[in-house]
Structure 1
Amino acid sequence: MQIIQITPAIWQLPFPVGHVHVVRLSDGYALIDTGMPGSAPAVLEALDQIGARPEQVRQIILTHSHTDHVGSAADLVEATGAQVLAGALDAPFIRGTIPEPDSVLSASERALHEQITAGWSEAKVPPVKRVQVDTELGEGDALADWAEPVRVLHVPGHTPGSIALHLDSSSVLFSGDIIATVEGRPILGPFNVDREEAVASFRRLAALDVETVCVPHGEPLLKDAAERLQAATPEYDWL
């Protein structure tokens, strides 16, 4: 795995579907999302490459409930002992206590979704192991033990309980799947349960003063992120 260092304290672990991010805390590390089921060995190997031991992982933050984000959470909790944090409205889906709602797909999204799920079937991706959510997060919550203040933003639309993380001091945003990038261009992430809500959440994130955006799909926006987000047209994506 070619690890991408985004800032001195943030790394992207790139996967074919669903990147994982590592953040150095004041005492340890946090993982943001966990990749597909079966990704835990690669994540642990990447942690070793940056000098982090499994027991130093304090938090696993899940931006939402989809398989490519929660897929290896249970295995990584077992390996690290970390606490799991997720948006309150997605926590029951992550725990597996209620089924999550289906995405509403356009024709172009449906074709992409079929291609992706066929790839999972061919690769014999194992089923998701359900995991306990230790802390349910909501709008305006702060995260403990981070080296700088971080604010939780509730950004529904992709899923009911999707969250983003805004690090104001370093002008960094972890967008979750509300934002993706294609060839350096920010777009609305596909496969939303409520497209109108997702577009509104995109526009809310685009109004933030951020320099860097860490996305789960595509390449990160490493400079002039606010200007590039404001110039985006999510209303027309995936139609």
Structure 2
Amino acid sequence: MFADLLRVRTPLVNFHVLKDESGLVLLDAGFLGASRSLRRALAERGWENEPVRGILLTHGHLDHSLNVARLAKETGAWIAAPRLDGGRYLGRTRSLGWSRIAGALEGIGRPLLGFRPFVPDRWIDDGDELELWGGLRAVHLPGHTEGHTGYYCASRKLLFCGDLFASFSRWSHFPPAILNAEPERMAESIHKALSLDLAGVIPNHADDAEAEEHLRRLRILAGRLKGD
């Protein structure tokens, strides 16, 4: 996609590494096998000696946050994360309706998978500007979780959209109801994302298509949602 952007694949979910003049920032931290996948991906790109200076989260679901505390301890990286998911970083989940199923599964999974609670060094709110990778702006996209947040790079017209949708060619879809803490807000967040000046989007659950193709798929899904 970009010479200063690296996709790291782990079972069920991808995460990304952003590189600028001061080092590397992880955008989410992956799920099972993330450390091994990260080391391999960095070595293949020739970044294995670059310092990891930060970890930036899109939201607090376990498949994005499982490795955060351990990686931060190993690398000395700061942690920045959406404020409204604060309880999730401490291992607490507020679940209503169908999302109680996912909340129960996460409650079981945290101790089994070795999740370590953490408190971010910086809280992220809607509209916050981050001075990394040429400039990123936090875009609150609630629904999947209370604090679910994307990061928009205006200079590249690119949105890291977290779990706003999953992009797998003809099997692209929005997250199922059991995974959405506030499903009534999903449509609002989709509209908010697509109102940005976009050339591409990068979801965490996705195949190897280019960012422009992921955006095309998101627009098709949004059109179906409206009945267009």
Normalised by the length of structure 1, the TM-score is 0.80
- Contact in 2 for aligned 1:104/1:194 (Cα 8 Å): no
- Pairing partner for 1:130 from 117, 134, 137: 117
1:120-178 Cα distance to aligned partner (Å, 9 max, x none): 98xx962312122110000110112x231210011111111111000111111110111
Q: Which runs of 5+ in 2 are unaligned?
A: none
* Structure 1 equivalent of residue 175 of structure 2: 189
- Pairing partner for 2:93 from 93, 97, 100: 100
In 2, the alpha carbon distance for the partners of 1:103 and 1:29 equals: 37
In 2, the alpha carbon distance for the partners of 1:178 and 1:103 equals: 19
- Contact in 1 for aligned 2:202/2:214 (Cα 8 Å): no
* Structure 2 equivalent of residue 152 of structure 1: 138
1:10-41 Cα distance to aligned partner (Å, 9 max, x none): 11112221211011123101101111155223
Task: Report the identity percentage.
Answer: 27
Count of residues paired in the alignment: 219
What does residue range 5-44 of structure 1 map to in structure 2 within 5 Å? 6-44=1-39
CA RMSD of aligned residues (A): 2.9
Q: Which runs of 5+ in 1 are unaligned?
A: 1-5
Moved more, 175-184 or 218-227: 218-227
1:175-217 Cα distance to aligned partner (Å, 9 max, x none): 0111211316653223101111122111211222222211111
Normalised by the length of structure 2, the TM-score is 0.83
Q: Tell me which protein shows more helix as a share of its residues.
A: 2
* Structure 1 equivalent of residue 128 of structure 2: 141
What displacement does 1:43 show?
1.4
In 2, the alpha carbon distance for the partners of 1:234 and 1:179 equals: 14
SS of equivalent residue, structure 1 residue 175: strand
What does residue range 1-239 of structure 1 map to in structure 2 within 5 Å? 6-53=1-48, 56-96=51-91, 99-102=92-95, 104-105=97-98, 126-144=113-131, 146-183=132-169, 186-190=172-176, 191-219=179-207, 220-223=209-212, 226-233=215-222, 236=225
